[in-house]
């Protein structure tokens, strides 16, 4: 349901503003992938009336683009090789810059990290309003992992740039990714601050669904998958959680046509009504 909430909100936001809604498979972690998962996700989206525009992009097929971006970052001195293992950093919340000035004698690089800037990183969130993070509380982050796979932060910025993405509407569990991605946008585009403001996407962060223990609903917290057979009810419930004017959508709901319900929801969509705090799930099997 948490993923459905993000999908419905981003679809409605895109359609309300006359935009296109893109689907991208961020399949960058082969050891953790489940066979057939991508097809299942796409069938579930379609079953909930969420039809995408254009071709589905698979990050696993775009390694050359990420490699080019990394080489650019290396040339500009924005990244550095790191020899630190997870064991070395156990219990450390923010990377302390151990390898920032060079590798210690006898150490070999295991991954590459982006060198975060300093000061306050701010943006006007589409939903949360003025939002800021201190760079020192984020730390230098991986762009190429020790296992040889591309890191999320680099891949998503390269793809957003390549696909011409103008708005990113996603869960607030990714809120601290935004200042990192804004930094990468700056490094990869070589634009002035004023130019950058017009080039990077607008970011909007939605409330996450939590169980009664305050945990985000996910596979790790045993969240149950949504069922296509319940699509109309599930989408209506999501719209209620998002504080949208569902009283204007009763006719579409009662018709049982989930795509018509979404079209009405997109017409009435209002970002300003979306709650800014986490939503507690009260569904069956979730505590």
220 pLDDT more than 70: no
Q: How many domains does the chain have?
A: 1
282 pLDDT more than 90: no
Which letter does DSSP use for residue 150 in this model?
B
- The model's confidence at residue 225, banded by pLDDT at 50, 70 and 90, is confident
Alpha helices in 18-79 (DSSP H): 37-47, 63-75
For residues 243-248, give the mean pLDDT: 92
- The model's confidence at residue 283, banded by pLDDT at 50, 70 and 90, is low
For residue 219, what pLDDT is reported? Answer: 59
Smallest Cα–Cα separation from 287: which of 240, 199, 221?
221
Comparison of pLDDT for 31 and 264, the residue scoring more? 264
Residue 243, token pair as written in the block: 């504080």
Look at strands 202-206 and 167-171 and give their pairing.
Answer: parallel
What is the rounded distance in angstroms from the CA atom of residue 208 to the CA atom of residue 133?
A: 20
Does residue 10 contact residue 21 with C-beta atoms inside 8 Å? yes
What is the rounded distance in angstroms from the CA atom of residue 67 to the CA atom of residue 165?
A: 20
287 pLDDT more than 50: no
Place of tokens 């679809």: 11
For residues 58-73, give the mean pLDDT: 97
Comparison of pLDDT for 137 and 193, the residue scoring more? 137
Domain presence at residue 277: yes
Domain presence at residue 33: yes
Domain presence at residue 174: no
Domain presence at residue 99: no
- The model's confidence at residue 285, banded by pLDDT at 50, 70 and 90, is very low
Does residue 107 contact residue 81 with C-beta atoms inside 8 Å? no
Radius of gyration of the chain (CA): 20
What range defines the domain where residue 240 resides?
1-59+207-287
What is the rounded distance in angstroms from the CA atom of residue 54 to the CA atom of residue 134?
A: 37
Domain presence at residue 124: no
Domain presence at residue 6: yes
Smallest Cα–Cα separation from 163: which of 70, 74, 59?
59
209 pLDDT more than 50: yes
C-alpha 121: how far from chain center: 18
Look at strands 111-114 and 141-144 and give their pairing.
Answer: antiparallel
Domain presence at residue 158: no
CATH of the domain at 4: 3.40.50.620
For residue 210, what pLDDT is reported? Answer: 87
Domain presence at residue 262: yes
């Amino acid at each position: 349901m948490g993923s459905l909430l993000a999908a419905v909100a981003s679809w409605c936001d895109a359609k309300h503003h006359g935009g296109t809604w893109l689907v991208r498979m961020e399949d960058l972690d082969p050891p953790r992938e489940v066979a057939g998962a991508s097809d299942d996700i796409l069938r579930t989206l379609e079953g909930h009336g969420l039809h995408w525009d254009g071709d589905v992009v698979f990050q696993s097929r775009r390694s050359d683009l990420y490699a080019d971006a990394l080489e650019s970052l290396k040339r500009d001195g924005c990244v550095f090789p790191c020899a630190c293992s997870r064991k070395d950093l156990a219990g450390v919340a923010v990377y302390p810059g151990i390898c920032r000035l060079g590798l210690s004698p006898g150490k070999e690089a295991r991954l590459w990290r982006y060198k975060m800037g300093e000061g306050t990183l701010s943006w006007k969130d589409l939903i949360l309003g003025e939002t800021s993070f201190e760079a020192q509380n984020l730390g230098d982050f991986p762009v190429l992992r020790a296992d040889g796979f591309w890191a999320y932060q680099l891949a998503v910025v390269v793809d957003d740039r390549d696909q011409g993405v103008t708005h990113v509407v996603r869960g607030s569990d990714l809120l601290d990714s935004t200042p990192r991605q804004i930094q990468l946008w700056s490094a990869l585009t070589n634009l002035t601050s004023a130019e950058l403001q017009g080039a990077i996407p607008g970011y909007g962060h939605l409330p996450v669904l939590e169980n009664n223990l305050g945990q985000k609903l996910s596979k790790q917290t045993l969240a149950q998958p949504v069922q296509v057979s319940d699509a109309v009810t599930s989408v209506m419930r999501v719209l209620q959680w998002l504080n949208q004017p569902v009283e204007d959508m009763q006719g579409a709901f009662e018709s049982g046509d989930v795509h018509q319900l979404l079209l009405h929801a997109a017409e009435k969509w209002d970002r300003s009504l979306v709650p800014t705090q986490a939503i507690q799930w009260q569904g069956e099997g979730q505590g």
